[in-house]
Amino acid sequence: MAATRADTLQSVELADGVEIRLRVAGLAARSMAYTLDLLLRLLIYLVMFFVFMLLVMPSIGKELTTGLFLLFLFFMEWFYNVFFEAGAKGATPGQRSMKLRVMSVTGGPVTFAQAVMRNFLRVVDFMPGLYLTGIVCMLFTKRFQRLGDLVANTVVTYVETPPVKQPDVRVQAERRAPMQVLTREEQAALLQFIERAPHWADERRMELAAIAEPLTGARGVDGLRKLCGMALWLQDPEGKKEEPPPLKSPPLFIS
Amino acid sequence: MTPAQFEKNIEPRWQRLEKLLQNVEQGKAGQDAVELPAVFRQVCHDLSVAQHRMSPQRITQRLNGLAIRAYRVLERRGAGGWETFIRLFAVDFPRAVRAEWKLFWWCTALFYLPAVLLAAITPSHPEWAMALLGPEQMIMIESMYGESSTPSDYVRDNFGSSFAAFCFYIWNNVGIDFKTFAGGMLGGVGALFVLLFNAFYLGAVFGYVHYSGNPLTLYTWVIAHGAPELTGIVISAMAGLRVGLTVLSPGRLSRRDALVLSGRKALPLLTGAAVLTSLAAVLEGFWSPLDLGAPVKFSVGALCWLAVGGFLFLGGRERLK
């Protein structure tokens, strides 16, 4: 059975042979970034309008000023995003504030040509209004790509944040071997569970542990306890760690 | 090796990479930046091992993030500056046009045939052109190219107004090129629409001037800048159609791959169209309003057409040894 994924991580193999995982950004974050950029652009237009009117016009005359302002409009309309996305950060100011970034699907930075393609095609993505075409297209592609992204072969991802230091939590459960052979994916899921469970509420832990009922054969606290025990066994199958035997009915997680 | 030992072993490597990356990203790469590729490969190796051993997420996530950052730094290359741009226009662009010669001639025919047809029938059946232009446009055309107008009516001798006109043509016409290209993405419909609309409009204007105006005023005005401008609009439609036709029939590739490839093919065309239209803006802003007399205007105009045609046909060919 092809497991349906619960996250938006996309695996990409780099030219160096290693597989990296990209966290693809969804509609909400990208819309926020776009709105921020829109506001910033309006602000720039406004400021530049007054600069042209009050400072440039008196010194070089009306016609030259009109011309320069039209050139400025042209470059802002077509090259604002291109300039920032092809730059070192790979993100416009709006995208940066939402911790987003444009990348090539291959995992590398965006080239100038790719930035041009994805941004010029905004015209179609915008049709018939409010980026409707782009949004529909994003919902039907697994990497949330709009038409411009598809042609330019780009993807918008979250910037990696360094993992936060998490408090050390001891799990008080009896180590036990799983009663059946687990596949690698299942083992990975169990290991991730034990790593993240300390940071959830009890209800959430129980809810997720209930999914593994076929494995543990129990529900509720009992199922959770057994599941944690199996995860502990997977972390350290040979039991080299010296641990005090758990108390009769201890709290499961101790920080 | 226990997981704890593994974690301890790899720590100096990723810390080293993090430090190197920080320096490079802040633009103060020192002598030790040469180590970056080697350290990057080691960390990639560590990441693979960590993934295989299902190490805790704090390790894999950190290594994953570092690998992405380092790859971006290593793979980053500048846009190539003016040299690349000039090469894109002077070499890749005419080659791309010739590589798609069938598409080029289709677009050319779709543009000029309706225009010439409409212009030819207008003197005897002006109602078509009149319906297309509407009363306001007709009044404007008569005031600009009417029977009493002469070629020297449009002389501008002031640099400012010529510059303003030039900037307006850049903003408007190059923008139209880009929109035409983007419209092509919809199965070519948008690009075709712009192409045909402009063809009929152009035909109507020319026909109407022949019907009720002084054609000499019009021809001396448009002959020179028309060469790059009309070619520019034809080629931007061609770039759009290149992508649009790929959407319709991707051939042997998957639609996704075919689209990416068609985008790469369209880029030199789009660049060329934009540069041609910009050149047209220069001519329209600074050359066309000069008061030089019809013979000069017509010979320079003919030269412009020859230059554009010759460039598309001969430009970017390998020299024979």
Residue located via tokens 């046909």: B313
Higher pLDDT, A34 or A238: A34
What pLDDT sits at residue A240? 61
Query: Tell me: the pLDDT tens digits for B1-36?
Result: 677 788 889 999 999 999 999 888 888 777 888 889
pLDDT bracket for residue A4 (50, 70, 90): low
CA separation, residue B217 to residues B135, B162, B214, B281, B290 (Å): 21, 18, 6, 19, 13
Identify whether residues A104 and A41 lie together within a single domain: yes
Domain housing A232? 170-254
Tokens of B99: 């590589």
Tokens of B122: 């207008």
CA separation, residue B189 to residues A36, A96, A124, B32 (Å): 32, 35, 11, 55
The verdict on B49 touching A (C-beta cutoff 8 Å) is: no
Identify whether residues A88 and A203 lie together within a single domain: no
List of residues 6+ apart from B271 with CB closer than 8 A: B85, B88, B89, B92, B93
What pLDDT sits at residue A2? 41
What pLDDT sits at residue B88? 92
A1 within a domain of the structure (yes/no): no
Mutate which: A72, A124, A195, vs B, most B CBs within 10 A? A124
The verdict on B2 touching A (C-beta cutoff 8 Å) is: yes
Q: In the predicted model, is pLDDT for residue B277 greater than 90?
A: yes
pLDDT bracket for residue A80 (50, 70, 90): very high
Identify whether residues A40 and A149 lie together within a single domain: yes
A165 within a domain of the structure (yes/no): no
CA atoms lying within 13 Å on the CB side of residue A174: 9
Task: Please tell me the distance from the alpha carbon of residue B168 to that of residue B282, in angstroms, as a whole number.
Answer: 11
Query: Tell me: the pLDDT tens digits for A94-137?
Result: 999 999 999 999 989 999 999 999 999 999 999 888 999 999 99
Measured in angstroms, the CA of A116 and the nearest CA of chain B are apart by 9
Rounded mean pLDDT, B69-73: 90
Task: Please tell me the distance from the alpha carbon of residue B30 to that of residue B19, in angstroms, as a whole number.
Answer: 11
Supply the mean pLDDT for chain A. 86
In chain A, residues with a C-beta closer than 8 Å to the C-beta of B274 are none
A4 within a domain of the structure (yes/no): no
Identify whether residues A250 and A217 lie together within a single domain: yes
A3 within a domain of the structure (yes/no): no
Rounded mean pLDDT, A3-24: 79
Rounded mean pLDDT, B186-207: 94
Nearest in space to A48 (alpha carbons), one of A79, A87, A75: A75
Q: Give the ipTM.
A: 0.90
What pLDDT sits at residue A200? 84
CB nearest to A151's CB, from B77, B167, B243: B243
Domain range annotation of chain B: 3-75, 82-314
Query: Tell me: the pLDDT tens digits for A31-68?
Result: 999 999 999 999 999 999 999 999 988 888 888 999 99
Identify whether residues A20 and A93 lie together within a single domain: yes
- Please report which helix (H) or strand (E) contains residue A23, including its range: strand A19-23
Identify whether residues A132 and A187 lie together within a single domain: no
A2 within a domain of the structure (yes/no): no
A243 within a domain of the structure (yes/no): yes
Nearest in space to A25 (alpha carbons), one of A86, A123, A95: A95
Domain count, chain A: 2
Q: What residue of B is the nearest CA neighbor of A238? A: B2
A202 within a domain of the structure (yes/no): yes
Task: Please tell me the distance from the alpha carbon of residue B303 to that of residue B146, in angstroms, as a whole number.
Answer: 27
Query: Tell me: the pLDDT tens digits for A186-236?
Result: 888 888 888 888 888 888 888 888 888 888 888 888 888 888 888 888 887
Q: What residue of A is the nearest CA neighbor of B38? A: A16
Identify whether residues A182 and A147 lie together within a single domain: no
What pLDDT sits at residue B79? 67
Boundary (domain end) residue, out of A158, A186, A207: A158
Q: How large a percentage of chain B has pLDDT more than 70?
A: 98
CB nearest to A67's CB, from B40, B45, B163: B163
Prediction pTM value: 0.87
A184 within a domain of the structure (yes/no): yes
Query: Tell me: the pLDDT tens digits for A160-184?
Result: 877 666 667 777 778 888 888 888 8
Mutate which: A11, A62, A63, vs B, most B CBs within 10 A? A63
- The verdict on a CB contact (< 8 Å) between B175 and A78 is yes
- Beta strand pairing call for A19-23 and A100-104: unpaired
Interface of A with B in 11-70 (CB under 8 A): 14, 16-22, 61-64, 66-68, 70
- The verdict on a CB contact (< 8 Å) between A107 and B68 is yes
